[in-house]
Structure 1
Amino acid sequence: MTSTAPATSQVSQEDFAEILAATREFVRTRVIPRENEIMEADAIPADLRAAAAELGLFGFAIPQDHGGLGLDLMQDVELAMELGYTSLALRSMFGTNNGIAGQVLVGYGTAAQQAAWLERIASGEVVASFALTEPGAGSNPAGLRTRAVRDGDDWVISGSKRFITNAPTAGLFIVFARTREAAGSDPGIAVFLVPAGLPGLHVGPHDRKMGQEGSWTADVTLDSVRVGADALVGGSEQVGYQAAMSSLARGRVHIAAVAVGAARRALDESVAYAATATQGGTPIGDFQLVQAHLADMQTGVLAGEALVRECARKYQTGEDQRISPSVAKLFCTEMAGQVADKAIQVHGGTGYMREVPVERIYRDVRLLRLYEGTSEIQRLIIGGGLIRNEKRRLKPQ
């Protein structure tokens, strides 16, 4: 199966409103009070993981016939804005199941591959990791060096992956590997299903990062890992690059929505602080320059909300699945960084202290401009896409 058509929502707006409300309550009443615990332990508590699974969050974007909730991207971004309101490690725990890893199976897996894995992914029994990034191939996979070589009916995969989200807990790796040299429009990349625990598959210790404590990434090394022919996603070597680009494009809209949620939290924290903290007996929110910071933050958040909803709509209808996702990710992740910076400024020295929410948000959102395509890559996609579209328009028929 090699379909790029976006899935239609299987959830009515009434039912979705209940899902959104339950998620919001979970985030606000159960996760937010434990953000510092997550940060200090660098882990999501087991009871919160179980509660997230019970809510269906490990499979919110997986079709219902495979055990998921079946949300479309327009509903996905509404959920993502709620999830972005707290520690981004929570969303990261099940983000790859619903996003860049799970969507490869949803969009491109064979019926047998989907039956074998999607229900387990949707329930949270299996965590899926998207193993694309390498030391020499990040936002642009053209430099991919991991190789997969045929050996009889099997494939033997060798190479190294870096910064792989959820690798330490993954039960399944979606591994991109070069099976042939690039030629013309064929990048030579295929994608394989590699279960954890196979001989030759090694996961390094989880990385120590600037932020997003509780979200684990690690290096993954494949040393002559042998998989059967049924591990080739879609049963075709031609699927890999298209699957990567499609999953990343969808994921960029989702990450944009996460950024909006984080920015909204930073704004809310700043407004509450400005209304109560005093300087010389006067609430700092009465000072016009503080109000100016809050005004800029509110403007960015509202613009981000509107943009991510419009880009999700364009992706869902098929109107634009390439430029709009990059526009949403570029604007919203850059905006979140600016809002987080202003939040620290509004809080003054207090905002620089650990265990103050805006300090964590400042560190958490910095990563959003890097993964699933850096801001620089988004600019190239947007600018190059606009020029190509215009050239096509001008080309004589």
Structure 2
Amino acid sequence: MTIEMEDVDGLLAEVAIFARERIAPASERPETPVSLDILLALSNEASEMGLLPLAQEEPGFSLWEDVTGSGAMAFNMGLLRHVGRANAGLAFAWHRYALARHVMSALGIRTEKATVLDTTLLSTGHYGLAQASLGQYLAGECSGEDKPKLQDWLDRQSKSGVLTAVPVWQSVLWPVWQEGRIGWQLAPRSRMQVETLSSQHGFDDLSSFRVQLEPMADVPVHEVPRDDGMFYARVLMLDMLGLLAIGAGALARAQDMTVDFTSVRRQGGKVIGGHAAVQQMLGELEMAVQQADAGIQRLSRPLDRLSIREVASARATTHALLCHAANQAVQAHGGLGYMRDLGAEKIVRDQNMLKLQAGGTRELPLLLAGLGEVQA
């Protein structure tokens, strides 16, 4: 089902109401993670509204179901921004689940039984972005030195990766290296070595796991019919776009909190929002929100009209901006900003978690260098 541009605002208005009236109240105590039962209940409600996909459903307008139209992409990005504003961790879980379903549909992968949030996705290998080798492969210029790096990067049996999801996930879809090409594997949890990680920086409502296939696990690899590099670039772009939208929503929430706080908190005989140092922080928050939203609007185009270079560049610059602005929100709250029951510091930690996903941002310059002048 195609979403027309004239329908986007109305659909997103319904999403905004759901995020404001259902998700935000469940997340109003930042020092207390939302329970798994509530996360699943909210996700099931979203599925009943048609916002999240389920297997064997008729075509609709669920998240990442359509990436070919301008209206659909504006809806996808807007949905994640609204939900990210209410709860970034829940938005991330929805994003990875819906993206996994999108990729499975494109590859013709079917599952007999499906429940909401049962499947998640890892879009990258065990660490980083394989330096410049991934970019060179996507550009069609992979050398003999690059292939061993990619094979190691996508080795799922001898190398472990970190997965962040709801605790009850049952399978993960991830790219693997097979016979010199990138394929995709739907790995069931029962065939994996899974270690729950206790020290998690952000996304308090989710859990993090160290995962890898069992040594003797025989899990089928689904081959991409045509250009595997182009297919992979499209998935990576969608993952990056979702992370940007969630981060923009979370920062908008941080801005609201900061403006409210600085308009009533008094120091030196006037509200602190009247002090130049605080005004500087408020101004930097406004600039970051405006730039993030402008970037989302610019990137809300059909996927065929986007390039991996454009999306990766936007992620590299925007996520650094989002993290800095979120830190400024904490500073504007003074010492209270560091208290977990206020909420500002949670947004900082969630922004940092978003920055670390999809291979992180540190190796994005190497990815862009590897791509060279070729656009995927």
Work out whether residues 119 and 173 of structure 2, in 8 Å CA contact, stay in contact via their aligned partners in 1: no
Distance 1:330 1:320 in 2: 16
Equivalent residue number for residue 129 of structure 2: 139
Match of 1:305 among 260, 269, 293: 293
Distance 1:289 1:38 in 2: 27
Distance 2:310 2:20 in 1: 30
1:11 positional shift? 2.0
Counterpart code for 1:31: I
TM-score, normalization: structure 1? 0.77
Q: Deviations over 1:209-250 (max 9, x none)?
A: 1111112221223221124xxx432476x8765543321112
Work out whether residues 224 and 231 of structure 2, in 8 Å CA contact, stay in contact via their aligned partners in 1: no
Equivalent residue number for residue 373 of structure 2: 388
Q: 1:25 to 1:192 in 2, by over 3 A?
A: same
Secondary structure of the corresponding residue to residue 76 of structure 2: helix
Work out whether residues 77 and 241 of structure 2, in 8 Å CA contact, stay in contact via their aligned partners in 1: yes
1:286 positional shift? 1.6
Distance 2:6 2:168 in 1: 35
Work out whether residues 56 and 68 of structure 1, in 8 Å CA contact, stay in contact via their aligned partners in 2: yes
Q: 1:344 to 1:147 in 2, by over 3 A?
A: closer
1:47 positional shift? 2.9
Match of 2:213 among 215, 222, 231: 222
Q: 1:131 to 1:381 in 2, by over 3 A?
A: closer
Equivalent residue number for residue 351 of structure 2: 365
1:147 positional shift? 8.4
1:353 positional shift? 0.7
**Higher relative contact order, chain-length normalized (CA < 8 Å, sep 6+):** 2
Work out whether residues 164 and 207 of structure 2, in 8 Å CA contact, stay in contact via their aligned partners in 1: yes
Work out whether residues 43 and 213 of structure 1, in 8 Å CA contact, stay in contact via their aligned partners in 2: no
Distance 1:132 1:383 in 2: 18
Match of 1:336 among 322, 327, 343: 322
Distance 2:305 2:363 in 1: 21
Secondary structure of the corresponding residue to residue 276 of structure 1: coil
Equivalent residue number for residue 84 of structure 1: 84
Q: Deviations over 1:258-294 (max 9, x none)?
A: 1111111111111111111111331111222222221
Counterpart code for 1:178: W
1:278 aligns with 2:266: yes
Aligned-residue CA RMSD (Å): 3.2
TM-score, normalization: structure 2? 0.80
Q: 1:298 to 1:192 in 2, by over 3 A?
A: same
1:51 aligns with 2:81: no
Counterpart code for 1:294: L
1:192 aligns with 2:181: no
Secondary structure of the corresponding residue to residue 128 of structure 1: strand
Unaligned runs of 5+ in 1: 1-8, 149-156, 181-185, 391-397
Match of 2:199 among 191, 202, 208: 208
Work out whether residues 304 and 331 of structure 1, in 8 Å CA contact, stay in contact via their aligned partners in 2: no
Q: Deviations over 1:94-123 (max 9, x none)?
A: 221222x2332233x03xx2xx24x966x6
After superposition, where does 1:308-327 map in structure 2 within 5 Å? 308-313=296-301, 316=302, 318-327=304-313
Q: Deviations over 1:23-73 (max 9, x none)?
A: 21222222223325575246442432332333333339x995388464432
1:297 positional shift? 1.3
Counterpart code for 1:210: H
Match of 2:240 among 233, 248, 252: 252
Equivalent residue number for residue 74 of structure 1: 74
